[in-house]
Amino acid sequence: MELTSLGLTEKSDVLYRTVLAHPDFSVTELTEFLSWPEPTVRHALTELAELSLLYVSADAGKLRVLSPQLALEALFAREQAEVVRRQQELEARRAAADQFLSEYADLHREAERPTVERLTGLDTVRKRIAALVEGTSREAATFAPGGPQPADNRAASRPVAERAIARGITSRTVYLDSVRNDSASVEYATWLVSRGNQVRTAPSLPMRMHIFDCEAALVPIDPDDSAKGAVLIREPGAVTAFCALFEAMWATASPLGETPRRGLHDPGSQHRELLRLLAQGFTDEAAARRLGVSLRTERRLISELMEQLQARSRFQLGQRAMEHGLL
């Protein structure tokens, strides 16, 4: 076995084996035996001494060497220590490189990220929402129209909400007033509130919308059919407008634990919102979808409006609403 693989030079290896074979040789005798110049022998002896493979005894200054077993253990320990040192040095360099790459990515992320991105299909949208929530650091704000929330929506939303809650991310959600008539939807909303989030309801919502840290907004491609997909917008001006829309709706919405406004003369009531929708030309079907109620319920609300305003036709209902300052 060549000891050069353990850190010895070739001459140190030869000299060490010679001293083992002739432990009583002096430096002069080693020089004559190996036919080396004396400086070469002394240099090799110094190397062996530095590796603790030999030493000069107090007994007449004679050379003494470690046994091969102890020598190999010492060399292996030295090599192992060197491997550990180099590994630590490599890890330190890797950490420095990772830090540099992270800082570079932070500097260039905004420039490389598209400001508008189209997402097709409900599954794609749900996956992106989960990723956006993971990247949120402060708050998520949501409009959740459609009335009572379908079971698959609640099932997809709950694990995302749980991860956000675990990270200390709060959420504000506005549902339609009609969710209060669905026990499963109310149970889910109550669970959100119990975890430190805020939930309010409004008679109608303009569209489904998610806002993340007021830096990105996710809105549907088709407001009447969110299953078609969504558009992710990071353009600051547009996101600011969506945030303002959310805050305006939030300010007039009713907290989940409070009874929603129901009076005809209350601008935030379901009846008043229906009047507004009809005045804007919404059909009964479209108005029902916006309120999150069935067509039968929407028509019942119209009958109640006509009775309260003593109108015999829808045209007269519009006239009476104008006369009472309701539009």
Residue 86: predicted pLDDT: 80
Lowest mean per-residue pLDDT among 47-51, 78-82, 109-113, 260-264: 109-113
71 and 189 inside one domain? no
Residue 236 belongs to a domain with what CATH number? 3.30.870.10
311 pLDDT band, cuts 50/70/90, is: confident
Domain boundary among 68, 96, 112: 112
* C-alpha–C-alpha distance, residues 16 and 138, integer Å: 68
93 and 146 inside one domain? no
Are 325 and 267 spatial neighbours (Cβ–Cβ below 8 Å)? no
Q: Which residues of 18-50 are buried (b: 16+ CB within 10 A; e: fewer)?
A: bbeeeeebeeeebbeebebeeeebeebbebbee
Listed ranges 50-54, 86-90, 166-170, 197-201; the one with the highest mean pLDDT:
197-201
Are 199 and 173 spatial neighbours (Cβ–Cβ below 8 Å)? yes
Task: Write out the two tokens for 153.
Answer: 């929506």
Q: What is the pLDDT of residues 5-31, one digit of tens each?
A: 666 788 888 888 888 888 788 888 888
107 pLDDT band, cuts 50/70/90, is: low
Angle at 277 between CA 274 and CA 280, to 5 degrees: 150
- Number of structural domains (the chain) is 3
Residue 108: predicted pLDDT: 54
154 and 96 inside one domain? no
Residue 95, CA distances (Å) to 100, 101, 102, 107 in order: 9, 10, 10, 18
134 and 154 inside one domain? yes
Question: Residue 121 is inside which H or E element, if any?
Answer: none
Mean pLDDT score across all residues of the chain: 82
- How many whole angstroms from its chain centre is CA 213? 12
Q: What is the pLDDT of residues 153-176, one digit of tens each?
A: 788 888 888 888 888 888 999 999
30 and 147 inside one domain? no
Task: Write out the two tokens for 58.
Answer: 């107090």
203 and 214 inside one domain? yes
129 and 229 inside one domain? yes
Are 258 and 195 spatial neighbours (Cβ–Cβ below 8 Å)? no
186 and 267 inside one domain? no
Residue 305 belongs to a domain with what CATH number? 1.10.10.10
91 and 130 inside one domain? no
Lowest mean per-residue pLDDT among 18-27, 211-220, 274-283: 18-27
Q: Look up residue 176 and give its DSSP letter.
A: E
Domain boundary among 112, 129, 163: 112
Tell me which residue range forms the domain holding 3: 1-112
8 and 79 inside one domain? yes
Kindly report each contact of residues 69-75 with a partner whose C-beta sits within 8 Å and lies 24 or more positions away, as own/partner.
Answer: 71/16, 72/6, 75/3, 75/6, 75/7, 75/8, 75/51
274 and 179 inside one domain? no
Residue 118, CA distances (Å) to 108, 194, 220, 231, 245 in order: 22, 34, 10, 5, 21
Residues whose CB is less than 8 angstroms from the CB of residue 62 and which lie 6 or more positions away in sequence, other chains included: 24, 26, 56
Domain boundary among 112, 143, 159: 112
17 and 38 inside one domain? yes
* C-alpha–C-alpha distance, residues 106 and 196, integer Å: 31
* C-alpha–C-alpha distance, residues 91 and 82, integer Å: 14
Q: Across residues 294-323, what is the average pLDDT?
A: 87
